[in-house]
Amino acid sequence: MSEATAQPGARMTAEIAEQPHVFGELLAHRAEIAEVATRIAERRPRFALLAARGSSDHAALYAKYLIEVLLQLPVGLVSPSTTTLYGARPDLTDVLLLSVSQSGGSPDLLEVTEAGRKAGATTVAVTNTAESPLNRAAEMSVGIRAGQEQAVAATKTYSATLLALYLLVDAVRGGNAEHARALPELARTTLDTTEQAVAEAVHRYRFADRMVTTGRGYSLATACEAALKLAETSYLSARAYSGADLLHGPVAAVDAETAVLALCSAGKGGASTREVLEAVHERGADICAIGSAAADVPAAHRIGVPDCAEELAPVLEVLPVQRLALGLALERGGDPDNPRGLKKVTRTR
């Protein structure tokens, strides 16, 4: 499809639909990820650091939960400017540094990775571009195998990054991707069964001026990604909070004019979100619940997602989120394939 004849949102629509296939491809090559995992496990890192920007930062947040819960290792999120602007060079001996970048072209992350490797870290790049500068800078690399992404807003590269990170962490702990093997089919089911509910949500929230997104546990990453997608494609004023943080002050700003997008998948995170949503519901907010436990929370609108292992829920629950962002952008007269002022690679200096 040429640029001249392409309909608004055509690329984003196509790339959302590709995700079940992308998951299948990634799972078919999980042995390559397992090789990297074996080398990491042999080094027995004492803690992990995660470096990322944009949507990849939300994937890194997901990885933070995976590593802390499944590997029982402390994890920190790197502030790239401490390296690029302030020249900090901490000793990273016995530290695992994961640099997550869909393009592999972020100058910030490249500098962080190069500095980290010189400081003794085990450096691993997680990217969609095999020949990227980031892959060359890191000692090891994990490819997310999403294929070329033409839409500016990340969809398939984001979800593929989540799955790649899960496969890596699962393999480090000695797993064999047992819980992930059904994801391609579950993703197809999610896209097929949520289409009508997403369309109804687009109609319901097309005039919303501001939206709060929330989730707990693994789903916090999806809440953060949802806020970014809504802001960058629909130009909504969207803000993400963990459920716990939402109750510590920001809930005071929630009222009947506030739309709340809540990620509620089965498991400990989803169960703890119920209390949060009850408080938000009492303040009159219009709640849209997305996830495998959406039926269990107070909400004006629900988008159910197939059940899976809690640590994999973000891979599925982000699919209707992406479609919601796409639909709202089109309904509000925008083109999510060409959002204003948005670029793939983040540069901060």
- Residue 264 confidence (pLDDT): 96
Between 183-193 and 313-331, two packed helices, what is the crossing angle to 10 degrees? 30
- Residue 99 confidence (pLDDT): 98
Mean pLDDT of 46-60: 96
- Residue 4 confidence (pLDDT): 44
* Calpha distance 345→349 (Å, rounded): 12
Nearest residue to 61 (alpha-carbon basis) of 170, 175, 161 = 161
CATH 3.40.50.10490: which residues of the chain? Answer: 10-180, 184-331
- Six token digits for residue 163: 């799955």
Is the predicted pLDDT of residue 118 greater than 50, yes or no? yes
- Residue 11 confidence (pLDDT): 96
Give tens-digit pLDDT for 300-325. 999 999 999 999 999 999 999 999 99
Is the predicted pLDDT of residue 159 greater than 80, yes or no? yes
125, β-bridge pairs: 99, 141
* Calpha distance 25→18 (Å, rounded): 11
- Residue 257 confidence (pLDDT): 87
* Calpha distance 122→138 (Å, rounded): 8
Q: Return the CATH number of the domain spanning residue range 184-331.
A: 3.40.50.10490
At residue 348 the predicted structure's pLDDT band, cuts being 50, 70 and 90, is: very low
Mean pLDDT of 195-215: 95
What's this model's pTM, rounded to 2 decimal places?
A: 0.94
Residue written as token pair 């490249």 = 110
At residue 199 the predicted structure's pLDDT band, cuts being 50, 70 and 90, is: very high
Mean pLDDT of 37-42: 98
Which H, E and C letters describe the chain, residue by residue? Answer: CCCCCCCCCHHHHHHHHCHHHHHHHHHHCHHHHHHHHHHHHHHCCCEEEEEECCHHHHHHHHHHHHHHHHHCCCEEECCHHHHHCCCCCCCCCCEEEEEECCCCCCHHHHHHHHHHHHCCCEEEEEECCCCCHHHHHCCEEEECCCCCCCCCCCCHHHHHHHHHHHHHHHHHCCCCCHHHCCHHHHHHHHHHHCHHHHHHHHHHHCCCCEEEEEECHHHHHHHHHHHHHHHHHHCCEEEEEEHHHHHCCHHHHCCCCCEEEEECCCCHHHHHHHHHHHHHHHCCCEEEEEECCHHHCCCCEEEECCCCCHHHHHHHHHHHHHHHHHHHHHHCCCCCCCCCCCCCCCCCC
- Six token digits for residue 319: 């699919």
Q: Which of 90-99, 106-115, 215-224, 276-285 has the lowest mean pLDDT?
A: 276-285
Give tens-digit pLDDT for 231-289. 999 888 899 999 989 988 888 888 888 899 999 999 999 999 999 999 999 999 999 99
* Calpha distance 202→205 (Å, rounded): 5
* Calpha distance 7→283 (Å, rounded): 40
Q: What is the mean pLDDT of the chain?
A: 93
At residue 72 the predicted structure's pLDDT band, cuts being 50, 70 and 90, is: very high
- Residue 349 confidence (pLDDT): 52
For domain 10-180, which architecture applies? 3-Layer(aba) Sandwich (3.40)
- Residue 65 confidence (pLDDT): 98
